Amino acid sequence: MISVLLVDDEALVRAGLRMILETADDLSVVGDAEDGRAAIDAVSRSRPDVVLMDIRMPRLDGVAATAAIRTGANPPAVVVLTTFDTDDAVFGALEAGATGFLLKDTPPADLLRAVRLAADGDSMLSPGVTRQLIDRFTAEDRSQRRSDALDRLQGLTGREREVLVEIGLGWANSDIASHLHMSEATVKTHVSHLFDKLAATNRVQIAIAAYRAGVVE
């Protein structure tokens, strides 16, 4: 059973998310919070596997709350929620350690899949969204960044590089397994190695390394 904490300053949104999540037999909503400060307290109490975190809230916003939660011991995965895919705060949340982000009008089936992927250490980012994120993160100092990124990739094996490219294209582990003709367990092992070797805290940071090094265009 995957436990989920809902964080949004609108009670109606929290209720809607709860209704969707409770249609799944493998998901359980263990609590909710109306702002970032309440979210931090709720995480310490309920120890959820996944937090669905609104970006813009009073008292403490989703970026600051994500940073605080992700620096704790055995932190849950955080998926941030936003109304617009161009919301600048999303980039701050990803840098703070969020697994990924969802629009609030995401179809229910995609929401359920995203929560399951997050609980499994994966994320769901479309290739188009990934490209937009990378463009924002890599807008300056391209030549120096590429040199630094290439240096970071020196210790990767051939298979790890192949998985790196797939992550850079925005694919989830199940998709990568299909594309590279390997088991999903093997993909997870390679992804774990990438996290360690690249000192990454989320898959977007791995994708950034791929784009900066020029192995994905």
**The pLDDT value given to residue 124:** 66
At 215, is the secondary structure helix, strand, or coil?
A: coil
pTM: 0.74
* CA dist., res. 162 & res. 64, Å (int): 34
At 146, is the secondary structure helix, strand, or coil?
A: helix
For residue 2, what are the CA distances in angstroms to 51, 119, 121? 11, 7, 12
* CA dist., res. 56 & res. 77, Å (int): 18
Contact 30, 5 (CB under 8 A): yes
**The pLDDT value given to residue 40:** 95
**The pLDDT value given to residue 156:** 92
The full set of domains in the chain, from first to last, is 2-124 (3.40.50.2300), 141-213 (1.10.10.10)
For residue 71, what are the CA distances in angstroms to 48, 78, 211? 15, 12, 26
Q: Which residue has the tokens 């919070």?
A: 33
Residue 44 burial by CB count (10 A; 0-12/13-18/19+): exposed, middle or buried? exposed
**The pLDDT value given to residue 135:** 65
Cα torsion at 16, 18, 22, 23 (round to 10°)?
A: 20
For residue 133, what are the CA distances in angstroms to 5, 88, 128, 143, 189? 25, 10, 9, 19, 25
Q: What are the tokens at 183?
A: 């088991």
pLDDT tens digits in sequence order for the chain, 217 residues long: 999 999 999 999 999 999 999 999 999 999 999 999 999 999 999 999 999 999 989 889 999 999 999 988 889 999 988 887 666 777 788 888 888 888 888 889 989 988 998 898 887 665 555 666 666 665 555 555 666 767 778 889 999 999 999 998 888 899 999 999 999 999 999 999 999 999 887 887 888 888 888 887 6
Residue 214: CB atoms within 10 Å? 12
**The pLDDT value given to residue 146:** 63
Specify which residues 53 forms β-bridges with: 7, 80
Q: Provide, rounded to the nearest whole percent, the portion of the chain with pLDDT above 70.
A: 86
Question: What percent of the chain is helix, strand and coil (3-state, nearest 5)?
Answer: 55, 15, 30
